[in-house]
Amino acid sequence: MTSETPAPPAPDSRTPDTRAKENRREEIAAYVLRQGEARIDDLVQHFGVSRMTIHRHIDQLAASGLLRKQHGGVTALPSGVYESLFRYRQTVATAEKSSLARAALRFVEPGQVVMLDDSSTSHAVAGLLPQLAPLTVITNSLASLQALTGMDEISLICLGGQFHPTYNAFIGHLCETALPALRANVLICSASAAQNGVAYIQDAQVTRTKQAMMASANRRILLLNHEKFGRSALHALAPLSTFDAVLTASTLPHAEIQALKAAGVRLHLIETDPK
């Protein structure tokens, strides 16, 4: 298989000061999410910045729907909203993600075109793909692009669009309209939640991008942390039965396993390495 050598991803045009502010904002969000809530005074002390700076970051996170600002403090929103934060997602269920990523390789063959979404679970797959080179990899994830840049016999195609720091990915109209001109042998993706046999995503733009990816792939493989089952997010992505395989940990409750199989979901239960 031959493929055109893609241009390298555009350099990061953000100034060091802008990157530092975005990093701190994400660190504040991750801290609040771990704690569930935090007082402004605690955040000032923990991050060593002024109250004005903390209030500015909290205002921006609240405007993005990640946190809820309250008098004297801030809380995490009780839904799948916060899970969009890429740096936070990378810290969650790492052992299970590694196991799912290794299991996903059985659906990939050398010479294929593999599409990866912006999920942290698919990013875990990206680091393993050179084992199956040569491959062409299509993705909108900046983290996956960086992980695969310079790898022998890996041809990269970057999906354009507006870069969104929260997702560490390119999404939006340009990304969506590029996908119908491409065709992948297999898509490896994830979702924010799964309930009553349907996969859900919190953000509407991310939902549309993933749906466009699904339409551009011959096979669709969904990797889901078992704790995402029974949870909710705002936008329906697709019924679980539309995926060629749904991989999750074998620790998924038996009743959930039986219900999914009865609904025609092609469920693959993966043993997770303890850490």
Domain with residue 74: its CATH number is 1.10.10.10
227 and 102 inside one domain: yes
Measured CA angle at 110 (ends 106, 113), to 5 deg: 90
Q: What are phi and psi of 11, to 5 degrees?
A: -65, 155
Q: Which of 47, 78, 109 is the last residue of a domain?
A: 78
CA–CA separation, 229 and 253 (whole Å):
10
Give the per-residue pLDDT at 273. 72
Q: Classify residue 1: in a domain, yes or no.
A: no
CA–CA separation, 227 and 252 (whole Å):
8
Residues facing residue 193 across a β-bridge: 200
The model's pLDDT over 143-158, given as tens digits with 9 standing for 90+, comes to: 999 999 999 999 999 9
As for how many domains the chain has, the answer is: 2
Q: How many CA atoms lie within 13 A of 239 on its CB side?
A: 8
The model's pLDDT over 68-99, given as tens digits with 9 standing for 90+, comes to: 888 888 887 654 444 455 555 555 557 888 99
Give the per-residue pLDDT at 15. 66
Q: Classify residue 154: in a domain, yes or no.
A: yes
Q: Classify residue 203: in a domain, yes or no.
A: yes
Specify the higher pLDDT residue, 214 or 234: 214
135 and 39 inside one domain: no
Residue 113 belongs to domain spanning: 92-270
Are the C-beta atoms of residues 271 and 248 closer than 8 Å to each other? no
178 and 229 inside one domain: yes
* Predicted confidence band of residue 9 (pLDDT cuts 50, 70, 90): very low
Give the per-residue pLDDT at 2. 39
Q: Is it the case that residue 61 has pLDDT exceeding 50?
A: yes
Give the per-residue pLDDT at 32. 82
183 and 96 inside one domain: yes
Domain with residue 97: its CATH number is 3.40.50.1360
Are the C-beta atoms of residues 215 and 180 closer than 8 Å to each other? yes
Q: Is it the case that residue 7 has pLDDT exceeding 60?
A: no
For the chain, the residue count is: 275
Are the C-beta atoms of residues 141 and 126 closer than 8 Å to each other? yes
